[in-house]
Amino acid sequence: MKYTRALALTTLITFAISTVGCGYILYPERRGKHGGTIDGGTQVMDLIWLLPGIVPGVVFLIVDFSSGAMYVSGRYAMRATPNGDVAVKLNDSKDARTLELRLVTEGNRVLDHKLADVGPTIHDESVQLHGGAAVAKHEKVFLQVVDPARPNTQLQVPVEVL
């Protein structure tokens, strides 16, 4: 009886600790992705499991990469140029829809906006927006993504790359 409780407690603790490093359990919404940006935190936690033994670490890495839970979703790659243009690369999408992309200043003045289609047959979609003098002068400029399937996103344009 004493050994049964110890075994049950050990199993419970092991399962609780394993969920900390397994993207499959922590991020079920990521399952099914087939590439993208790797989540550094999940990868580090999976690699830490190599310390107690090769098998747990390898299992966590295989599960997270094969399920897609290792990949971060919702990130947009942006690049600003000195002349005020902002290039935005969009992620692939499982379902077809139209996104509205807007460049706005801190005071919500719209500098440029475009519509972009994403979907299962559209890959590596890139959109060019012109921010003009606002981006070139390093004013705070934001990219707003209006997506009918998700909450709207607002990201600051990285002017430090100029």
Cα–Cα distance for residue pair 72/92, rounded to 1 Å: 12
Return mean pLDDT, the chain: 76
Residues 108 and 53 in one domain: no
For position 135, what pLDDT does the model report? 59
Residues 57 and 90 in one domain: no
Residues 68 and 86 in one domain: no
Q: Compute φ and ψ for 88, nearest 5 degrees.
A: -125, 125
Average pLDDT over residues 63-72: 81
Residues 93 and 64 in one domain: no
Q: Is 98 helix (H, G, I), strand (E, B) or coil?
A: strand
- Reported as type and span, the H/E element at residue 117 is strand 110-118
Residues 51 and 91 in one domain: no
Picking from 50, 60, 58, the residue whose alpha carbon sits closest to that of residue 18 is: 60
pTM score, whole prediction: 0.50
The neighbour count for residue 157, using CB atoms within 10 Å, is: 26
For position 162, what pLDDT does the model report? 37
| Each residue's pLDDT tens digit, 79-114 | 777 777 888 877 777 788 888 888 888 888 888 889
Residues 52 and 97 in one domain: no
Please check whether residue 70 is in contact with residue 21, taking contact to mean a CB–CB distance below 8 angstroms: no
Q: Does 161 have pLDDT greater than 60?
A: no
Any bridge partners for residue 122, and if so which?
Answer: 119
Residues 63 and 134 in one domain: no
Lookup result for tokens 């000195």:
82
Residues 128 and 154 in one domain: yes
Residues 60 and 109 in one domain: no
Q: Does 2 have pLDDT greater than 60?
A: yes
Over pLDDT 70: what percentage of the chain?
Answer: 81
For position 98, what pLDDT does the model report? 87
Cα–Cα distance for residue pair 20/123, rounded to 1 Å: 33
For position 34, what pLDDT does the model report? 65
Q: Compute φ and ψ for 31, nearest 5 degrees.
A: -60, 140
Residues 56 and 81 in one domain: no
Average pLDDT over residues 47-66: 82
What's the structural domain count of the chain? 2
Residues 48 and 100 in one domain: no
| Each residue's pLDDT tens digit, 129-147 | 887 766 556 678 888 888 8
Residues 89 and 157 in one domain: yes
CATH (domain of 84):
2.60.40.150
Any bridge partners for residue 156, and if so which?
Answer: 142
Alpha helices in the chain (DSSP H): 2-20, 23-26, 40-48, 54-67, 133-136
Domain coverage including residue 132: 77-161
